[in-house]
Amino acid sequence: MKKINLSLVALLTMSTFAVAGGDIAPISDVTVESVADVIVEEVSTGTFYAGIGYSSMRSNITNIKFDNLGDFKQDIKHDTGAVFVDAGYKFNDYIAVEARYWVGISSDDVKFDNKDYTFHGDVIDTDSDAWAVYLKPMYPVTDSFDVYGLIGYGSASLNDTDTFNGDVEGISWGAGAAYSFTDSFSVFLDYVAFTEDTITNNELTHLAGVDSTEYDHAFDTINFGLNYQF
């Protein structure tokens, strides 16, 4: 009789654990799945974005020195409108990488500030373009408004099809702000500058009919654009 009672107790105990195990298992599964979802969501914070915009491009060529022309001084200024495209990857709310390409769209002429000595009747028709790749640190002021910086490498060109070529290449930097009016779309305004280069023996040498030239070339842009975040 004692053996029968022990067998019944063992059977009831096993049944209780089985039922309890059946109740606990679904809870355990849900907990593991929920934690996994949170981990995936935290890891997958990066997003791609791309956009288009309009720029005011400015090119200033200064301190021109023509060999054999003594104290001659000539500065060349060129302002033009441009369109640009950008594409980037946002790792999180604080850092991104971005690439841009600009191309001039207006037909402004290069203007010379020395009226005593001019080339080609005082103006030269030119084309402008530029490209750059940036590291983009960001700071979210609010959920919708960010400020950011740009630091990277780029090249900008001011070209005449026949005689003139003014390129700058090196460090490019900038700063701006962006406002997101939906989860996908944002507008931004920023300023970007390219390294000022000292250029020697360019096409200006042949244009002026001298042995050599030297000048400083600065290039910068003010940009307004629209980005879409995928």
SS (H, E, C) the chain: CHHHHHHHHHHHHHHHHHHHHHHHHHHHHHHHHHHHHHHHHHHCCCEEEEEEEEEEEEEEEEEEEECCCCCCCCCEEEEEEEEEEEEEEECCCCEEEEEEEEEECCCCEEEECCCCCCCHHHEEECEEEEEEEEEEEEEECCCCEEEEEEEEEEEEEEECCCCCEEEEEEEEEEEEEEEECCCCEEEEEEEEEEEEEEEECCHHHHHHCCCCEEEEEEEEEEEEEEEEEC
Asked which of 26, 44, 62 is the last residue of a domain, the reply is: 44
Confidence of residue 160 (pLDDT cuts 50, 70, 90): low
pTM over 0.75: no
pLDDT of 195? 82
Residues 20 and 74 in one domain: no
pLDDT, tens only, 14-54: 555 444 455 555 544 545 555 545 444 455 578 999 999 99
Domain that holds residue 154: 46-229
Confidence of residue 60 (pLDDT cuts 50, 70, 90): confident
Q: Yes or no: say if 138 and 150 are a contact pair by the CB < 8 Å rule.
A: no
Residues 31 and 123 in one domain: no
Average pLDDT over residues 205-214: 58
Partners of 139 in beta bridges: 147
Put residue 212 in one of left, alpha, beta given phi > 0 → left and psi -120 to 50 → alpha.
beta
Tell me, rounded to whole angstroms, the distance of Cα 99 from its chain centroid. Answer: 5
The domain tally of the chain equals 2
Asked which of 44, 60, 75 is the last residue of a domain, the reply is: 44
Residues 120 and 75 in one domain: yes
Q: Yes or no: say if 177 and 150 are a contact pair by the CB < 8 Å rule.
A: no
Residues 120 and 189 in one domain: yes
Residues 14 and 128 in one domain: no
Quote the CA–CA distance of 62 and 198 in Å, as a whole number. 10
pLDDT of 217? 77
Residues 40 and 110 in one domain: no
Residues 26 and 57 in one domain: no
Average pLDDT over residues 165-172: 81
Q: Indicate whether 69 pLDDT > 50.
A: yes
Q: Which has more confidence, 124 or 1?
A: 124
pLDDT of 206? 54
pLDDT of 226? 98
Q: Which has more confidence, 76 or 155?
A: 155
Asked which of 9, 28, 44 is the last residue of a domain, the reply is: 44
Residues 148 and 104 in one domain: yes
